Chain A
């Protein structure tokens, strides 16, 4: 039905088009502007929609780029952390190497693999044992100074009793005055130097070194610095609080002084 009417509809349309073409352009300005006014809003809407679509596309692209960048940043910061960690390790190992070269003692370098599970005792577990030449009572130090001694040895691991543990004892000297005393751990990462004579001229900041007596620690190993001094009740002895030079809570590598040289030093 519609197919038959189509040619009839086209004829007036074609005539209208010709009529419009015949009208001079000056006279069609109003018509054009009217039509434009009519189309302006939908046009701008469609244009905005197009822009928005492009922007949404851009947002998605940016988001995926952002995610990729975030991943890269994470990877890079991980790598940077590893580099820092390696740098610190190199520094520590260099110090150990320097110490090895500058001292007559022979060392077994070992890593700390575990720490005391409770808050009362101060001990470490290291990754070297009797198979690597570790034996009981071997002194243990790091590049800052003495940290303790071996108290338990297994074939591939050993336990170190830190000098800050209350079960630890060592005969020590105050480096400047050469006064001898007994160093014992008091926990909390500190030690107490006992039995110094009242007339001893120890000062705050004086360095304490091992005396080489008692059969465990060789002479001259730096232990720590004096933090406070007091005269004991009765006025016979002075006692001092000594802070170990090594940060005992953050140890990562330690040096076990080999027994034979340790023994020869003691002799």
Chain B
């Protein structure tokens, strides 16, 4: 039987580096104007392992940092990522995350939720490129981010999750 231990300190450090990576080197992964959202992938991963409450809290905290780096209003990314954390947390123990199709579909759904929340809130405070006029960016980001999720989960799993055998 496996006993799963989540290495929080390591995850915290990884979160910090991913945040910096998202606003610097992530551009080198961009296809045209689309780059994957690695911060969103962090929130999905955390929420799937820790559940809705902690997922939402983590999403909101990370979102504040994203807001600080972004040119938008503070709180929008925080709220959006909080929603993603909450919804992905609801899927904890309901989905088998290690299957590549699940990883892709969860990434797709999370990205869609995040985009909708970001658009609905963002439109209240500043101008955004029209959702349907820029549907290519929306879909492109969703697909690219979800595709990255397939590999990202494995990498994080290796560094953050400790599966030791237990006598219980």
Contacts and interface: CB of A to CB of B under 8 A. Distances in A.
Interface in B5-20: 19
A136 B133 CA distance: 31
A14 B117 CA distance: 109
Interface in B98-139: 118-119, 122, 126-129, 134, 137
B69 A121 contact: no
B24 A166 contact: no
A238 interface: no
26 contacts: A114-B69, A115-B23, A115-B24, A115-B27, A116-B70, A117-B19, A117-B37, A117-B39, A117-B70, A118-B37, A118-B66, A119-B34, A119-B35, A119-B37, A119-B137, A120-B72, A120-B122, A120-B134, A123-B70, A125-B23, A159-B71, A161-B71, A187-B134, A188-B129, A188-B137, A249-B33
A187 to B, nearest CB: 4
A110 interface: no
Contact of A249 (B23, B27, B71, B127): B27
A138 to B, nearest CB: 15
A70 to B, nearest CB: 25
A167 interface: yes
A249 B28 CA distance: 10
Interface of A: 113-123, 125, 151-152, 159, 161, 165-167, 186-189, 249
Interface of B: 19, 22-24, 26-27, 30, 33-35, 37, 39, 66, 69-72, 77, 118-119, 122, 126-129, 134, 137, 141
B128 A166 contact: yes
Contacts of B119: 120
Contact of A166 (B35, B77, B127): B127
B34 A165 contact: no
A117 B137 CA distance: 14
Contact of B23 (A116, A122, A165, A167): A116
A149 B119 CA distance: 24
A118 B77 contact: yes
A147 to B, nearest CB: 13
B129 A120 contact: yes
A148 to B, nearest CB: 10
Q: Which of A115, A122, A166 has the most CB of B within 10 A?
A: A115
Nearest to A168: B127
B148 to A, nearest CB: 14
A119 B33 contact: yes
Contacts of A165: 71
A72 to B, nearest CB: 27
B143 to A, nearest CB: 12
Given A167-B127, A187-B137, A116 B33 contact: no
Nearest to B25: A115
A200 B49 CA distance: 61
A115 B119 CA distance: 20
A122 B71 contact: yes
